[in-house]
A and B are shown apart, each in its own frame.
Chain A
């Protein structure tokens, strides 16, 4: 087992046997994360839009944010997946996982959007209102472009965190990367290879996402730097 050729053969064997399962796990992780992150961003944005200029709505939505930020994702998933049937909400593991991750993400993205909206000087809004620009246009042409540079770094951080948190979905039997690896461990008693591969995959994915985020940030804040 010490010869390099043996190691290559060993890994080739491992991939021949389990490659398809691992690829499916990777695909499920990416797919669920993409759906949950998009839904979470949308949800967080809606929460912030709804709670602006309306004290009662803001209080109610604040409770949502505090609850979902203050409890572990795993407990939320258990409540949704195991507790759901008690009030007639029986979801498949994949659906429960995606919905749970999206609700959890929404609370965090709402906070990011809140900081973004707070960063816009009130004078800009007053000026826009007095020019008779419609609220939707103000949001799209004045607020969002200005806060983009500010909210991208924390959003990218949050996306990376969510991608890592998606490993928790394996506990409610969603067949994503972690679940596939632990299943291989349990079925074939191979431990080292799937675990190390799993850790490497997550590390690679989060490094890639971090790098992409930095590129995006540079692009969005180009106007601030002096050199064009």
Chain B
């Protein structure tokens, strides 16, 4: 295959894959945030059992490679006779993994909120959920923004692993293109450039948002 042909087929195939990659990453990041919040809440709860369960979950999810979690989620249900859709397994594995890391990030964020604010909110008779939504989360999100953006970048990179269970994201599409063109060097270089561009963009916009948040606090 000559160079112009190769370039056009790369341009036709890979950007669509990048969109799938970004979509799945974003979905997993949001699901992971909910899981992280839940784990964090359990970890901070006075209930001994909840504290212990969350501790074990966080330790396991942080200690087991994401590829192995993915294989577990994909193959174990099939061993029990259930059909696991590969996209669901992929999002679940990514979300569980990032959730455990986000839980630790959020815990540090919550710990940095002065206790007096909570006492004041209780004294004013605000409901728990309202305190979380209107008082805690806005501050915690602002404080932990850089780490959360970092998690998103790691997530985008980890999402390349879901190509193993045949989700047609960026890397899977590149593999398919290589199978047709026999040009691994060129195709995978293009793949790497796309991943790099996506991550640099996420880092850049994360910085922008963070600066705006800081400016808002100062002003």
B-contacting residues of A (Cβ < 8 Å)?
66-67, 70-76, 78-79, 82-84, 86-87, 160, 164-168, 170-171, 178, 182, 185, 191-192, 195-196, 198-199, 202-207
Contacts and interface: CB of A to CB of B under 8 A. Distances in A.
Contacts of B174: 78
Interface centre among B71, B158, B163 (most CB of A within 10 A): B71
B200 A82 contact: no
B59 A75 contact: no
Interface in B62-112: 62-69, 71-72, 75-76, 78-79
B195 interface: yes
B117 interface: no
B196 A70 contact: yes
Given A202-B64, A202-B65, A195 B76 contact: yes
- Classify chain B's interface size: 35 or more
B58 to A, nearest CB: 12
A216 B62 CA distance: 21
A38 to B, nearest CB: 20
Interface of B: 59-60, 62-69, 71-72, 75-76, 78-79, 153, 157-161, 163-164, 171, 174, 178, 183-185, 188-189, 191-192, 195-196, 199-200
A199 B171 contact: no
A71 B79 contact: no
12 contacts: A66-B196, A70-B196, A74-B163, A75-B160, A82-B178, A164-B65, A167-B68, A168-B67, A178-B65, A199-B60, A199-B64, A204-B63
A189 B174 CA distance: 30
Contacts of A171: 67, 164
Main secondary structure of the interface of B (DSSP, over half): helix
B76 A78 contact: no
Contact of B200 (A70, A191, A206): A70
Contacts of B67: 167-168, 170-171, 178
Contact of B76 (A82, A192, A204): A192
Contacts of B192: 67, 71, 75-76, 79
Contacts of A82: 178, 184-185, 188
A203 B64 contact: yes
Contacts of A168: 65, 67, 161
B168 to A, nearest CB: 15
Contacts of A205: 63
Interface centre among B76, B157, B183, B189 (most CB of A within 10 A): B157
Contact of A70 (B164, B191, B199): B199
A207 B75 contact: no
Nearest to B202: A70
Given A70-B199, A71-B195, A203-B63, A78 B157 contact: no
Contact of B63 (A74, A185, A191, A202): A202
Contact of B188 (A67, A78, A160): A78
Nearest to A76: B192
9 nearest CB pairs, A to B: A83-B185, A72-B160, A82-B184, A167-B65, A86-B185, A164-B65, A206-B63, A203-B63, A72-B157
A197 to B, nearest CB: 10
B171 A185 contact: no
A87 B184 CA distance: 11
B79 A199 contact: no
